[in-house]
Amino acid sequence: MADASVPLQTPLSRRGIERLDLMLLCAEALDLNGGEAMVWLSEEMGFTDLFPNRVELWKRRCSNPLRRNTRRAALKPEETDALIRILNALAERLYPMLRTLLSSAEPPELNQQRWDLFRGRLRELVQERLNPRRGGVQRLLDPGEGAELSRELVQAMALSAGEGGFERLRASLLDAAV
């Protein structure tokens, strides 16, 4: 599969940024030090020019239209690419956890507890940072639809991990709006 098949300079739509930030939020829900890991990975991967400090990284994530304090400024393609690379690296680190959540071979009660813990943390992060008046946020907090959406996000993260994950995820985030 050609790696350069998606033009490099295509900016992400608002919906793409929304999904990217939600997946980063999932990474934080899975790992209590996820926020720190993002800053560390950003430095490690050489993105200090784009995100000189944690506040700048935070500000870019606030382009998500579902945020409480959303920023209208559009993200540059190189900034979204850097965020996708950070997510790709986080998904790689968290892959054993993502895999366990998705596996049907795990004892059902134990896996239910893991999902409850993850969804509980995600709910706290969503309530703290996202605008509860937005339909997308209400769907995430809904007991039925939220469970389905969080599984979709975990599955998407698992398919975004590893070497081919970056290009696959980027193509997916550039999907047309429906």
Partner 1 sequence: MKLTSRYEQTSCRLVVEGLPDLSAGQDSSTIGIVTGFSMGLAGHTDLEGQREHLQALLAAVIPYARHLLSAVPKAFGAADSPVAIEPSEGRHQLELRSRQPNTPPLKIVLDDAELSDLVRCLDQLRLDRRLAIPFELPELHPLSRNDLRHRQPLLRRVAAPLVGVATLLISASLLSLLPTPKAPVDVRLNRPTLALPR
Q: Which amino acid is at 14?
A: R
Task: HSE, CB side, 13 Å, CA atoms: give it for residue 177.
Answer: 7
Which C-beta is closer to partner 1: that of 5 or that of 33?
Answer: 5
Residue 139 binds partner 1 (CB under 8 A)? no
Terminal-to-terminal C-alpha distance of the chain: 26
Which residues between 88 and 117 bind partner 1 (CB under 8 A)?
95, 98-100, 102-105
Give the span between the Cα atoms of 85 and 71, in whole angstroms: 22
**Backbone phi and psi for residue 93, each to the nearest 5 degrees, phi listed first:** -65, -40
Q: Distance of CA 129 to CAs 22, 89, 105, 113, Å?
A: 11, 23, 34, 24
Contact flag: residue 5 with partner 1 (CB under 8 A): yes
Could you say whether residue 178 binds partner 1 (CB under 8 A)? yes
Please pick, from the candidates 46, 52, 120, 162, the single residue that binds partner 1 as defined by CB under 8 A.
Answer: 162
Smaller CB distance to partner 1: residue 48 or 155? 155
Instruction: Give the interface with partner 1 as residue ranges (CB under 8 A).
Output: 1-2, 5-6, 95, 98-100, 102-105, 152, 155-156, 158-165, 167-169, 171-172, 174-178
